[in-house]
């Protein structure tokens, strides 16, 4: 495996922008794939990476689709789109990228890896612990003093030289990254944390919303346990995070998770089917009721469909007693 691998960040939103920006600033070759006004701003004035040490202009190569990427056999795709966008991204990559391309799923949820693995043998899962925000075209905000944690491993289990090389390049960009043979167990723990995303996007903040998110996670824990899905413990996750994700004291944007950001930007879809919906799917496959996550999934789609304001729904109406 060559040391001088090239990277394509496919989906230069909050997570992709922070990753691509930090890699570029560290001298790692990277191409940023973006779209619409966000791409136009990046091409006109560079990607603005807002970090604790100031705003940095990132003048990396850009592309609107995979057709515009200068592909090589040692190119690694960091797939940073949301779960509901994975299939269209794969269709684009299949049409233009080399058949031997490496794809690392830098995504929340646990369904993307299997979808990608159906098409690409060199598929890796990445557990994303990277608080970031993208609300303004051309700008991404790194919420922590340090960029984040991006552990990875083969989607089918195990690690190899390629995983080691990718982790080394991520560390060059300032990220914490170690190869893990059980990366999907880590990603399932992250899935449980993301079960509060729909609540944070839809419901008015307060104790009732907090309780709903807690109930969603407890339900998720039960489903994964009864389904026999390997999950690292909450203690292991907390130990891995440690103090590496210390938040900046002052941020130029509001606080909110990835689903909230999608709703704020007025996107046409959200990834809720691959968060709460993943628990719903497993529950149905294994005969375990999932009323809390079903209600959150439904409420999130209803809000997006109606064009409602984020955080405008009374939590009591999401799951009536």
**34 and 62 in contact (C-beta within 8 Å)?**
yes
pTM reported for the whole predicted model: 0.95
Neighbouring residues of 311: CB distance < 8 A, sequence distance ≥ 6: 200, 201, 202, 203, 204, 205, 260
Is residue 13 over pLDDT 60? yes
Model confidence at 28, pLDDT cuts 50, 70, 90, reads very high
Instruction: Supply the pLDDT for residue 321.
Output: 64
Q: What is the DSSP code (8-state) at residue 179?
A: B
Is residue 184 over pLDDT 80? yes
pLDDT average, residue stretch 283-312: 96
How far apart CA 245 and CA 145 sit, in angstroms, is 7
The pLDDT tens digits for 153-180 are: 999 999 999 999 999 999 999 999 999 9
């Amino acid at each position: 495996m060559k040391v001088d691998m090239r990277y394509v960040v496919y989906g230069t939103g909050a997570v992709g922008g922070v990753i691509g920006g930090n890699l570029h600033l560290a001298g790692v070759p990277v191409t940023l794939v973006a779209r619409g006004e966000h791409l136009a701003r990046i091409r006109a004035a560079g990607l603005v990476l807002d970090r604790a040490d100031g705003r940095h202009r990132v003048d990396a190569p850009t592309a609107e689709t995979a057709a515009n990427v200068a592909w090589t056999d040692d190119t690694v795709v960091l797939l940073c789109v949301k779960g509901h966008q994975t299939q269209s991204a794969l269709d684009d990559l299949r049409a233009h990228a080399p058949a031997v391309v490496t794809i690392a799923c830098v995504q929340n949820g646990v369904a993307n890896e299997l979808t990608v693995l159906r098409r690409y043998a060199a598929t890796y899962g990445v557990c994303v612990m990277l608080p970031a925000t993208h609300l303004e075209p051309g700008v991404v905000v790194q919420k922590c003093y340090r960029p984040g944690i991006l552990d990875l491993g083969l989607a089918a289990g195990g690690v190899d030289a390629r995983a080691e090389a990718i982790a080394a390049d991520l560390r060059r960009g300032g990220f914490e990254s170690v190869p893990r043979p059980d990366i999907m167990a880590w990603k399932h723990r992250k899935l449980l944390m993301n079960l509060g995303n729909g609540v944070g996007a839809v419901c008015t903040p307060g104790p009732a919303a907090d309780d709903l998110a807690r109930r969603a996670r407890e339900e998720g824990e039960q489903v994964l346990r009864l389904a026999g899905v390997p999950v690292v413990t909450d203690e292991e996750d907390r130990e891995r995070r440690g103090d590496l994700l210390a938040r900046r004291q002052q941020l130029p944007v509001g606080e909110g998770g990835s689903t909230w950001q999608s709703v704020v930007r007025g996107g046409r879809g959200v990834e809720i089917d691959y968060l709460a919906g993943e628990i719903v799917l497993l529950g149905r496959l294994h005969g375990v009721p999932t009323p809390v996550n079903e209600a959150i999934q439904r409420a999130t789609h209803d809000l997006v469909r109606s064009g409602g304001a984020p955080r405008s729904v009374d939590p009591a109406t999401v799951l009536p007693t």
